[in-house]
Amino acid sequence: MQMGLDALPAASYALPVLVSLLTVRFFYVLWRSGQPSSRPRVAGLRCLIVLGSGGHTAEMMNIVTMLQKNRFTPRYYVAALTDNMSLQKAQVYEQSLVQSGGKKTVKNAHFTQICRSREVGQSYITSIATTLLATLHAMWLVIRIRPKVIFCNGPGTCFPLCVSAFLLKVLGLGWSSIFYIESIARVKKLSLSGLLLYKLRIADQFFVQWPQLQQKYPRACYAGRLM
Amino acid sequence: MGGRERRMVFVTVGTTCFDALVKAVDSEEVKEALLHKGYTELLVQMGRGTYIPSKVSANSALQVDYFTFSQSIADYIREASLVISHAGSGSIFETLRLGKPLIVVVNEDLMDNHQSELAEELADRKHLLCARPQTLQETVKAMDLNNLLPYMPGDAKQVVTRINKFLGFPDD
């Protein structure tokens, strides 16, 4: 039909242009991530804090307690569906802030659960399907929350979230600065999440807690130990 | 109760199942070695383990008791004269923060044993002793806890300062 014939040449122009734009945008985002902010900042930043089982939450809470609360607010805590303890710990902490500050109820903190990409011991093959599902859920969370800052330290749940945030940056739908702090239990080798985020240059700043790791991964930052 | 000063050894496996450690600690050789070093009591937090140690309350022998889980093991660590722990970072740093001598036992049955990296590094720095379930007895026999160095806990100050700087916040 007439309309169909006209649409085809239009598409054959539009598609390469779109791909080129996205490619340029992609490399711009890669370059711009990792560049410290040039403008001084005053207001509060909405943040996404990824919690994980084992030592992850303890280390992350060490960071959160040190953050200036007026700069990093509101705080969205995310933990895996099967992780019962982590959100509880965060809730206890946020509650303590309310009580000591003499303020209103916990308004600046939110607690959400996310599908896990991979359970401990799960086969790598089925993990591909669950990771895809987790990624979709992650995308939805990041679109809904639109964090300006993301804090994560290694649980599998953080990878889909960081990738989603990065994708949104490329699509120009929001900008989150991603801070990754590798767990203190990683002395000689990075975790899988850490290695992926390091190699793909998705994190704006990548911290390690042992000097040996900083030597092995020179783009990483060694800023002491959290524990 | 007898005139002995109470010196308790606290064994913890966290939330894991680490039967090899509980068995090793419950063996006659290790209990003998602990008794010889002046310990009077053994308290085992066995987590999800299936091997149950035998309770002992006789006066001259090493007293043995156990439990599965507890909301917080900090109090047990505080009461202990020696802690024997699995290689989880939480248990390790909780013990080091409370300033107690620590033997970390690495679980060789775990597939991805990145935990041993941390235990070995801290042992190299002389903050704790490292052992395997089979070598626990000789570690206890040979240990000189006076050689251990105290661990200075870290904090998130440096990391948070760098993050603030990166985001363009003014220096505090």
What are the tens digits of pLDDT across the range A18-69? Answer: 899 899 999 999 988 888 887 777 678 999 999 988 789 999 999 999 999 9
Going by C-alpha positions, the residue among B85, B166, B87 that lies closest to residue A184 is B87
Chain B residues whose beta carbon lies within 8 Å of the beta carbon of residue A121: 111
Q: Where is pLDDT greater, at A119 or B105?
A: B105
CA B156 to chain CA centroid, Å, is 24
Our CA-based measurement puts residue B121 at a distance from the nearest CA of chain A, in whole angstroms, of: 7
Q: Round the CA-based radius of gyration of chain A to a whole number and report it.
A: 20
Chain A / chain B CB contacts < 8 angstroms: 97
Q: Does B2 touch chain A (CB under 8 A)?
A: no
Which one-letter amino acid corresponds to residue B121?
A: E
Answer yes or no: do A67 and B160 touch at CB < 8 A.
yes
Answer yes or no: do A55 and B121 touch at CB < 8 A.
no
Q: Does B171 touch chain A (CB under 8 A)?
A: no
- 3-state DSSP call for residue B101? coil
Answer yes or no: do A186 and B121 touch at CB < 8 A.
no
Long-range Cβ contact pairs of A136-142 (< 8 A, separation 24 or more): A138/A114, A138/A163, A138/A164, A139/A164, A139/A167, A141/A48, A141/A78, A141/A112, A141/A114, A142/A48, A142/A168, A142/A174, A142/A176
Tokens, residue A206: 């990548």
CA distances from A82 to A61, A85, A118, A131, B122 (A): 19, 9, 11, 15, 31
Q: Does B67 touch chain A (CB under 8 A)?
A: no
CB B92 within 8 A of CB B77: no
Question: Taking 70 as the threshold, does the pLDDT of residue A3 lie above it?
Answer: no
On average, the pLDDT of chain A sits at: 89
pLDDT digits (tens, 9 = 90+) for A157-179: 899 999 999 999 999 888 999 99
Q: Does A100 touch chain B (CB under 8 A)?
A: no
| pTM (predicted TM-score) | 0.87
Instruction: Give the closest of B114, B159, B163 to A226, CB-based.
Output: B159
Chain B residues whose beta carbon lies within 8 Å of the beta carbon of residue A183: 89
Average pLDDT (A199-220) is 96
Tokens, residue A114: 């996310």
How far, in Å, CA of A180 to CA of B167, rounded? 14
Tokens, residue A224: 């002491």
pLDDT value of residue A82: 85
CB A99 within 8 A of CB A67: no
**Tens-digit pLDDT string for chain B (172 aa):** 455 789 999 999 998 899 999 999 999 999 999 999 999 999 999 999 999 998 887 767 899 999 999 988 999 999 999 999 999 998 999 999 999 999 999 998 886 677 899 999 999 999 999 999 999 999 999 999 999 999 999 999 999 999 999 999 987 7
pLDDT digits (tens, 9 = 90+) for A121-159: 788 788 888 888 888 999 999 999 999 999 999 888 899
Average pLDDT (A86-115) is 85
CB B84 within 8 A of CB B21: yes
pLDDT value of residue A107: 77
